[in-house]
Amino acid sequence: MSRSNPRVLSTLERAGGFASAQEVYRLMQREGESIGLTTVYRSLQSLVNDKIVDVLRRDDGEAIYRLCGDAHHHHLVCKSCGDTVEIEGGAIEKWAKVMAEEHGFRDVGHTAEIFGICSKC
Amino acid sequence: MSRSNPRVLSTLERAGGFASAQEVYRLMQREGESIGLTTVYRSLQSLVNDKIVDVLRRDDGEAIYRLCGDAHHHHLVCKSCGDTVEIEGGAIEKWAKVMAEEHGFRDVGHTAEIFGICSKC
DNA sequence: AGCACAAATGAAAATGATTTTCATTCCCAT
DNA sequence: ATGGGAATGAAAATCATTTTCATTTGTGCT
């Protein structure tokens, strides 16, 4: 396995906590950091595994990474500008639990995301 | 520009109204249809422009196309054996709608999936 | 210090979806 | 028939991401 390179996390923070792997890489280069693209990808992945960052997708399919609070939440994402709002998902938690029980599933987790066009766009 | 090849739409329908471009292509090939991958992409894009289909992204970034207004369902997936159950998601629809309104979003869609370990595993 | 071994790194190649190019074919109105 | 625009698709180009693999770095041990 591999651990995250701390400079990657620090750069992601400096980027406003919201950037693609390529962007983090270019940013580090511009700042004179010596790092390989591979390491950036690996570090981001590892941060995702550790649930320190969240990954979502731009409309063009590029993955964007963002720091996120530790509480379990969901996202409301603008398809146009990428603006993201963290929302509460109590209804989902309950739904997931009920559905899983109904079908005899255990160790249940879920993903849910809402997307649309925000008021500014 | 280009108009959509009707066989592409028909195949997407037959696929359950939910498939990636590559899947539509492979499906058409398997059924003996003579069509190029390029045409599949172009047709799907055109269907998106005409708002006949919706596009979202899988976790791996692959674009999946879905017939609009399709009463869509959600999945309960076993992490161990991959078995999948289609479940009803009325609660989610409502949740998505409320959350979106609350934050001034429009043209809202959503994704939701539950995963766990099924009774057989 | 010197040695061994695991983890980290990054350049380059591989992968895979999607897009672009461009030459060819099809279709339709004259 | 014929000329021109639309549709098609094979092949090449793009681009993010992953994999490979050889090299470097770090760490514990003697």
What is the H or E stretch that residue A19 is in?
A: strand A18-20
> From CA B60, how far away is CA B10, in angstroms rounded?
26
The domain that contains B116 carries what CATH number? 3.30.1490.190
Instruction: Name chain A contacts of B99, Cβ cutoff 8 Å.
Output: 76, 87, 114
Which residues 47 to 106 of B reach strand C, CB within 7 A?
61-63
Range of the domain at A46: 1-70
Residues in chain A: 121
Same domain assignment for residues B86 and B65: no
Record: contact B104-A119, CB cut-off 8 A: yes
- The residues in B 22-81 lying below 8 A from A, measured between CB atoms, are 56-57, 59, 61-63, 76, 78-79
Same domain assignment for residues B36 and B6: yes
Quote the pLDDT of residue A73: 75
Nearest to B74 by CA among A103, A26, A71, A15: A103
pLDDT tens per residue, range A71-92:
567 888 887 776 778 887 788 8
What is the interface size between A and B, counted as CB pairs within 8 Å? 107
Using DSSP bridges, classify how beta strands B74-78 and B106-117 pair: parallel, antiparallel or unpaired: parallel
In this structure, how many other beta carbons lie within 10 angstroms of the beta carbon of residue B65?
A: 26
pLDDT tens per residue, range B16-38:
888 999 999 999 999 999 999 99
Instruction: Report the distance from CA of residue A62 to the C1' of nucleotide D15 in Å, as an integer.
Output: 10
Same domain assignment for residues B82 and B66: no
Domain end call among A28, A55, A70: A70
Beta bridge partners of A88: none
SS3 state of residue B104? coil
Same domain assignment for residues B63 and B82: no
Instruction: Report the distance from CA of residue B5 to the C1' of nucleotide C26 in Å, as an integer.
Output: 14
Same domain assignment for residues B24 and B10: yes
Same domain assignment for residues B8 and B21: yes
Q: How far is B95 from chain A (nearest CA, A)?
A: 7
Same domain assignment for residues A2 and A52: yes
Instruction: Report the distance from CA of residue A35 to the C1' of nucleotide D2 in Å, as an integer.
Output: 63
Same domain assignment for residues B26 and B83: no
Domain end call among B70, B87, B105: B70
Q: What is the mean pLDDT of chain B?
A: 86
Instruction: Name chain A contacts of B81, Cβ cutoff 8 Å.
Output: none
Quote the pLDDT of residue A70: 52
Quote the pLDDT of residue B91: 82
Same domain assignment for residues B64 and B43: yes
In this structure, how many other beta carbons lie within 10 angstroms of the beta carbon of residue B30?
A: 8
- For the ranges A49-58, B83-92, B111-120, the one whose mean pLDDT is highest: A49-58
Instruction: Name chain B contacts of A80, Cβ cutoff 8 Å.
Output: none
> From CA A103, how far away is CA A75, in angstroms rounded?
27
| Domains contained in chain A, number | 2
Same domain assignment for residues A42 and A82: no
- pTM as predicted: 0.74
Question: Is the per-residue pLDDT at A69 higher than 70?
Answer: no
Q: What is the mean pLDDT of residues A9-26?
A: 93
- For the ranges A40-49, A51-60, B100-109, the one whose mean pLDDT is highest: A40-49
Quote the pLDDT of residue B2: 66
> From CA A72, how far away is CA B75, in angstroms rounded?
20
Taking CA–CA distances from B94, the nearest residue in chain A reads A91
pLDDT tens per residue, range B69-98:
666 678 787 766 666 787 877 888 888 889
Buried b (16+ CB within 10 A) or exposed e, A73-110: ebbbbbbeebbbbebebebbeebbeebbeebebeebeb
B20 touches strand C (CB under 7 A): yes
Residues in chain B: 121
Same domain assignment for residues B51 and B87: no
Instruction: Name chain B contacts of A87, Cβ cutoff 8 Å.
Output: 99, 103
Same domain assignment for residues B49 and B105: no
Domain end call among A47, A70, A93: A70
Residue among A92, A109, A114 whose CB faces B116 most closely: A109
Instruction: Report the distance from CA of residue B4 to the C1' of nucleotide D5 in Å, as an integer.
Output: 17
Q: What is the mean pLDDT of residues B98-110?
A: 88
